[in-house]
A and B are shown apart, each in its own frame.
Chain A
Amino acid sequence: MLIRRVLLGGVTVCIVSLIIFAGVEMLPGDACTQFLGEYQADEELLAQCRKDLDLNRPPIDRFAEWTQGAITGDLGLAADGTTKISTIVGDRLKNSLLLAFLAMAVGIPLALFLGVVSGLWRDRLPDIIASTLAIFAMTIPEFVSATLLILVLSVWLGWLPGIVLTSAAAPASEFFPEILLPMIVLSFVMCAHIMRMVRSSVIDVMASDYVQMATLKGVPYWQMVFRHALPNALLPAINVVALTIAWLLGGVVVIEVVFNYPGLGRLMIDSISDRNLPVVQSIALIVASVYVCVNLAADLLTMIANPKLRTMYMRK
């Protein structure tokens, strides 16, 4: 079962990379026409360039070479023919991971806490406040809330820098405190989604027959909540959390642009507008792999945490 899921994930990544590669191939023009710009009319130069960049071999061969490289971490050269993609992308990936982990470290515990609290105190003050905020967070577009926060925290109060000026290759420590504002916005948005889910799941479970039974068995309230209700209420949260993590790691374009944060999302936008296709290809591959891995991890976790699934695979 597990093996099948892993294989399936691998196949997904392969298919995605094939589609990406084919898509890029089918676009008019190639790396050389882009690189040479106005000189591309010069047939000789073009031919030379294509020979240098190895573009004359059949696409199948090049695809095989590309995937082979990708597996060993070598993503080839960028469109300028000199920079290694793995260096550019590597820095950006590190930055995206940094931002994502910070946002997760704050957002997920907060979301679980708020979701449980508002589920337990349904329709009372804590729930009303948290749910209202969550609806705001989900409906206001990210760039609006980002801009508002910049306005308040950085322009008016001057507490936090409103924009990131550190260069992409700088070590993680240098991103403080600039990274805090984008992190706050991200945790806010993801917190809202997860919280709503957890809240409704807690409400369902608290209305379930087994929670009523536990109460009528004389189990004290908090013991009932922690032993009987929460383990079951939090199960469905795993998948939502996974989706959110995948979304975070895939680069959050809007936020990165607003804050000028040098992450994968912005690199993607820049590379698309530069027609730096090899880089676009590589990012797409990374995002797809992250997506597959995170979902795989979530399924695995659900399987371990859910007695129904667990017994199904263990006892056979």
Chain B
Amino acid sequence: MPQSSFIDIKNLSVGYTSRNGKIIPVLRDVNLSITRGDSIGLVGESGSGKSTLALAAMGYFKRGLHVISGQVQFDGIDMLNIERNALQRLRGGRLALIPQNSGQSLTPNLRIGQQISEALRLHGDLPATSFDVGVIDLLSQVRLPDPVGLTDRYPHELSGGQQQRVAIAMALASNPEALLLDEPTTGLDVTTQAHIMELLRDLAKDRNLAMLYVSHDLGAIARVCNKVMVMYAGETVLTGSAKQVLLSPRHPYAHGLLVSIPRLNEASLPQALDGRPPMPSETITGCAFADRCKLADQTCHKSPPPLNHLETGEAVRCFHHDQIGQLNQKTEKSARSNPTAADKGTALSLANLAVSYSQPGLLSKLFAPQDTPPSTVDRITIDIKKGETLGLVGESGSGKSTILKTIAGMVPAQSGNIILNQAERLDMMVEKRPAAHLRQVQIIFQNPDDSLNPRHTVAQVLAQPLRLYYGLSGTPLRDRSIDILEQVRLGEHYLERLPSQLSGGEKQRVAIARAFAADPEIILCDEVTSALDVSVQAAVLDLLDVLKRQDGTTYIFVSHDLAVVKAISDRVAVLYQGRICEIGPVAAVYSAPFHPYTDALLGAVLEPDPDVAPRLTADDVVELSPPKTGCPFQRRCPRKLGSICETDIPTAQEIAPGHVIHCHIPQLDL
């Protein structure tokens, strides 16, 4: 008999009432039990009901949602029928939440110290006089630098990683017995994420916590969870130990999710999991996953599969879980298009490019020229061949977006040249560029919500470039629009839709379609898959690759996800503080010898494999501006040689043809 469960959710169904009075379920008959010392990962695409389930464990439901049936118990206490005061004592007390996006979860008008001491006041047993000490103690427990100074800061003055640590400190204030984590590291840099995951692991072990860890990041789950539950369309489809679920998933959906993750040790594009989950309002007769399942047959469409409990301890909601082996045979990895063998010339040259955001006033220019901060981006020299994909990686603030914006003419260059097609200089700002230049350089952003006008239909979005650059109108315009939509695998019926009627992946396809409508020479992709689910990300990566093969387009692909960059790029440049650390063909950059920074980044990547642990070499300190002299990485470098790193710009060492590392460490020791 296993330990009695601490958090116990039984047959829980949660739903909302639609306009026409129907009750639409978002969670259907879900069971979940967590014992002390257990940490359970909850995975699934966005909209599958993960957060709703995690919040239900605290007896909390977002506005509009209500319990249809079922029970929620915490240590034997009925959380659905509990008196308000008792509930307030439990929430943030014995049961604490670490939220998604702590940046928005910290109250903007209260100082960090105030917010943490509020938690101490509400739940701790400390006397009021020792709150200050308590706050500082908590902040040091989560290894925040300068805890005393931090208490006085407001949330917006902290970096994303620091905000996340504050949220963890706040949750720990009450010495909780159970922790609920809702995507606590989504959107953080790899190094920050890896450090926070290690912190959470240690905490869980030291305090014998019960943890529920919600994430769509299977790498993070692999690192902290011993059990995993996979959800799809509001239902549990698979539960099992972390090893079972992540290494040999017995459900086609879990299998699809896992193969859609780009891996560092593979050179090919991940397999896309096509389609999207049904909306909660759709009526499903058979298996909810049937439309996307490669194993689906007649039975699957007729009746919903039950949750089968296997002898191995897993529970699977699938009729054909014993045939899962067939999926592995069906999935031959789609080989990525070959790096263009024939050299067709240079598409874009960046020659000694520098960019600075600070505009020193005349006075400081005259009297204290040495006081001007170093340029945000400096000494960027790269030639990008026609048809090549150049990946740019680095943590946030490393100047990746700044370089793209400068090429696109949205930020002025401080010095240096940008040369298109070996002939035309792109030194004008976007407003002044001739239409021909504008057409040839297109940019796609991370968040399609920001770049698509919410009041423009897809037809209007596509018409803009087609009208502007090709003077199309009437039937030719429509035909061409449909043509382009089909290339991004959206049908004609999407023409009249507004962005609000599209899913995240579809919106990003429309943004891609708009870029391709101009038939550009070069497309700048800024974190284009970072806001998407892994399954959708794989589809978008695949699409970009197919389009490139067709049109021979050149890409500059920016991402903080090293595996994604590896999957799509021919060549990679690793940036730190706006300077190139290492550049070369993908295979060379992703294998030894490494620049110390590349090494730190690669070591921090969390693979969706419970047996692989990250290597943390450098600290995850946030640097606000690059050092004035010497190597950009000097302040964090674990292998720093000494003062030479602080004074001299590291020399470019050509390790192999085209593979250059900027470091003072001699080539043989790297």
Contacts from A to B (Cβ < 8 Å): 207-210, 212-220, 227-228, 231-232, 306-308, 311, 315
In the assembled complex, B119 has its CB within 8 A of some CB on chain A: yes
In whole angstroms, how far apart are the Cα atoms of A220 and B90 in the complex?
12
**What residue of chain A has the Cβ atom nearest to residue B174's Cβ?**
A218
**For A232, what are the chain B residues with a Cβ–Cβ distance below 8 Å?**
107-109
Nearest chain B CB to A306's CB is how many angstroms away?
A: 8
Given contact pairs A219-B122, A232-B109, A307 touches B92 in the complex (Cβ within 8 A): no
Binds A, one of B34-42, B98-106, B323-331, B509-517: B98-106
**For B89, what are the chain A residues with a Cβ–Cβ distance below 8 Å?**
218
**For A307, what are the chain B residues with a Cβ–Cβ distance below 8 Å?**
108-109, 154, 156
Nearest chain A CB to B166's CB is how many angstroms away?
A: 11
| Contact A209 B105, beta carbon cutoff 8 Å | yes
| Contact A311 B157, beta carbon cutoff 8 Å | yes
**For B96, what are the chain A residues with a Cβ–Cβ distance below 8 Å?**
217
| Contact B109 A213, beta carbon cutoff 8 Å | no
In the assembled complex, B118 has its CB within 8 A of some CB on chain A: yes
**What residue of chain A has the Cβ atom nearest to residue B63's Cβ?**
A207
Identify A216's interface contact among B58, B104, B118, CB under 8 A.
B58
Residue of A208, A212, A231 with most partner-chain B CB within 10 A: A212
| Contact A209 B104, beta carbon cutoff 8 Å | yes
| Contact B109 A217, beta carbon cutoff 8 Å | no
In the assembled complex, B60 has its CB within 8 A of some CB on chain A: yes
In the assembled complex, B93 has its CB within 8 A of some CB on chain A: yes
Complex interface bits, B111-143 against A, C-beta within 8 A gives 1, otherwise 0: 000000011001100000000000000000000
Nearest chain A CB to B149's CB is how many angstroms away?
A: 11
Q: List 15 A-B contacts (CB under 8 A).
A: A209-B100, A210-B108, A213-B105, A216-B58, A216-B97, A217-B122, A218-B88, A218-B93, A219-B88, A227-B110, A307-B109, A308-B108, A308-B154, A308-B156, A311-B154
| Contact B107 A214, beta carbon cutoff 8 Å | yes
Identify A217's interface contact among B63, B100, B119, B154, CB under 8 A.
B119
Identify B60's interface contact among A207, A215, A220, A227, CB under 8 A.
A215
In whole angstroms, how far apart are the Cα atoms of A228 and B97 in the complex?
17
| Contact B92 A210, beta carbon cutoff 8 Å | no
| Contact B122 A218, beta carbon cutoff 8 Å | yes
| Contact A217 B104, beta carbon cutoff 8 Å | no
Chain B 417-458 residues near chain A, CB threshold 8 A: none
| Contact B110 A218, beta carbon cutoff 8 Å | no
Complex interface bits, B156-183 against A, C-beta within 8 A gives 1, otherwise 0: 1100000000000010000000000000
In whole angstroms, how far apart are the Cα atoms of A311 and B152 in the complex?
11
| Contact A210 B106, beta carbon cutoff 8 Å | yes
In whole angstroms, how far apart are the Cα atoms of A161 and B101 in the complex?
59
Nearest chain A CB to B79's CB is how many angstroms away?
A: 12
**For B91, what are the chain A residues with a Cβ–Cβ distance below 8 Å?**
215-218
Identify B104's interface contact among A208, A214, A219, A306, CB under 8 A.
A208
In whole angstroms, how far apart are the Cα atoms of A208 and B155 in the complex?
15
A213-B107, A315-B157 known, 9 other contacts, Cβ within 8 Å: A209-B99, A210-B108, A216-B55, A216-B99, A217-B118, A218-B88, A232-B108, A306-B109, A308-B108
Nearest chain A CB to B552's CB is how many angstroms away?
A: 44
Residue of B90, B105, B122 with most partner-chain A CB within 10 A: B105
Nearest chain A CB to B368's CB is how many angstroms away?
A: 16
| Contact A213 B97, beta carbon cutoff 8 Å | yes
Nearest chain B CB to A201's CB is how many angstroms away?
A: 13
Given contact pairs A228-B107, A228-B110, A308-B154, A213 touches B63 in the complex (Cβ within 8 A): no
Nearest chain A CB to B363's CB is how many angstroms away?
A: 15
| Contact A220 B88, beta carbon cutoff 8 Å | yes
**For B92, what are the chain A residues with a Cβ–Cβ distance below 8 Å?**
216-219
Nearest chain A CB to B459's CB is how many angstroms away?
A: 32
Nearest chain A CB to B214's CB is how many angstroms away?
A: 14
In whole angstroms, how far apart are the Cα atoms of A217 and B63 in the complex?
17
In whole angstroms, how far apart are the Cα atoms of A308 and B158 in the complex?
12
**For B105, what are the chain A residues with a Cβ–Cβ distance below 8 Å?**
209-210, 212-213
**For B122, what are the chain A residues with a Cβ–Cβ distance below 8 Å?**
217-219
Nearest chain B CB to A92's CB is how many angstroms away?
A: 41
**For B97, what are the chain A residues with a Cβ–Cβ distance below 8 Å?**
213, 216-217
| Contact B170 A217, beta carbon cutoff 8 Å | yes
**For A220, what are the chain B residues with a Cβ–Cβ distance below 8 Å?**
88
The 6 closest A-B pairs by CB, nearest first: A218-B92, A217-B92, A209-B104, A213-B105, A218-B91, A307-B154
Complex interface bits, B53-96 against A, C-beta within 8 A gives 1, otherwise 0: 00100101011000000000000000000000000111111001
In whole angstroms, how far apart are the Cα atoms of A210 and B55 in the complex?
14
| Contact A218 B108, beta carbon cutoff 8 Å | no
Given contact pairs A218-B89, A307-B156, A210 touches B118 in the complex (Cβ within 8 A): no
| Contact B104 A210, beta carbon cutoff 8 Å | yes
**For B170, what are the chain A residues with a Cβ–Cβ distance below 8 Å?**
217
Residue of A208, A209, A218, A308 with most partner-chain B CB within 10 A: A218
**For A215, what are the chain B residues with a Cβ–Cβ distance below 8 Å?**
60, 91
Nearest chain B CB to A240's CB is how many angstroms away?
A: 19
Nearest chain B CB to A110's CB is how many angstroms away?
A: 24
In whole angstroms, how far apart are the Cα atoms of A35 and B104 in the complex?
66
| Contact A210 B90, beta carbon cutoff 8 Å | no
In whole angstroms, how far apart are the Cα atoms of A212 and B157 in the complex?
21
Residue of A209, A210, A306 with most partner-chain B CB within 10 A: A210
Nearest chain B CB to A304's CB is how many angstroms away?
A: 12
| Contact A218 B154, beta carbon cutoff 8 Å | no
In whole angstroms, how far apart are the Cα atoms of A306 and B108 in the complex?
9
Identify A218's interface contact among B90, B100, B101, B104, CB under 8 A.
B90
| Contact B107 A210, beta carbon cutoff 8 Å | yes
Nearest chain A CB to B87's CB is how many angstroms away?
A: 8
